[in-house]
Amino acid sequence: MDDYLLRILPILALFLVSIWLNGYIRARVAYTLGDARPKIEGRMSWNPLPHIDLIGLLSLLVFYTGWAKPLSVNFNDLGRKRWAILVIELSGFLTNFLVGITFAILFLLFKSLESPTNLDLRWLKNALEFVATFNVFLALFSLLPFPQLPGFRAFTGLIYHKPQGILDSQALTYMGYAIVFILVIWTPILDWIGSATIFFLRAFGMTGKPFLGLFAYKFFGGF
């Protein structure tokens, strides 16, 4: 139990920060495009709680990966901007992806300082790699086309002019939860996303193991 807490607590803290940032940016973009609902529902605050999806949090505790609460938007406020939902959902993806790149660049910076300064910066590099990997992984995971992940919502918005009923459907949301859990348990989908994350991080000299190693041994035998 103590070993589990040591693994999950830093992930939980990072998840809350990343989810808040992801949700806040999406809410800010929606508000800028004319939708007042995110502000009314408290999605534009420093409080991470309105952004937390309970099932997504449970998934984090069990599988070390989760997701934010879907952003409720009012398509009547968005008007005829058919591309609006695409911009809103992709803004969350880009937020996490850019956070990952920022910490990857910091990793390279401190790695380059090790030799000339003769300092042991392994703990700092591991922390930076952990944050970078987590955010890139979270960004890629969000693109999965399953209800109500951002990838599904963005794709649905492009097909339908005002998909209010689809994106607000609780039945579809629960079906999406079931699909994600089945895929996580019975398919190597986390392995694929992890491999894609590693492929990207290799450009920065990282392997992703500080984060990906946590669930790799549990499901796949390691990266």
Tens of pLDDT, residues 136-145? 999 999 999 9
CA distances to 27, 112, 218 from 214, in Å = 31, 27, 7
SS3 195: helix
Q: Which residue has the tokens 């920022």?
A: 102
Q: Are 206 and 196 in contact (CB under 8 A)?
A: no
Give the pLDDT confidence of 9-64 residue by residue, as tens digits: 888 889 888 888 998 999 999 999 999 999 888 898 888 888 888 888 888 888 88
194 Cβ contact list (under 8 Å, min separation 6): 137, 208, 212, 216, 223
In 3-state terms, what secondary structure has residue 144? coil
User: Tell me, what's the pLDDT at 27?
Assistant: 93
Measuring CA to CA, which residue among 181, 93, 208, 211 is closest to residue 142? 93
Q: Which residue has the tokens 């910076």?
A: 109
pTM: 0.88
Average pLDDT of the residues in 164-183: 87
pLDDT reported for residue 92: 92
Helix axes 189-201, 170-186, angle to 10 degrees: 80
Burial of residue 12 (CB within 10 Å: 0-12, 13-18, 19+) is middle
Average pLDDT over residues 169-187: 87
Residue 56 Cα distances to 51, 83, 223, angstroms:
10, 26, 24
Peptide bond into 148 cis (omega under 30): yes
Residue 222 pLDDT greater than 70, yes or no: no
Residue 221 above 80 pLDDT?
no
Q: With beta carbons less than 8 A apart as the criterion, state whether 82 and 154 touch.
A: no
Residue 22 contacts residue 67 (beta carbons within 8 Å): no
CA distance 53 to 19: 10
Among the residue ranges 39-53, 133-147, 171-185, 204-218, the one predicted with the least confidence is 204-218
Strands (E), the chain: none
Between CA 66 and CA 69 the distance in angstroms is 10
Amino acid identity of 207? Answer: T
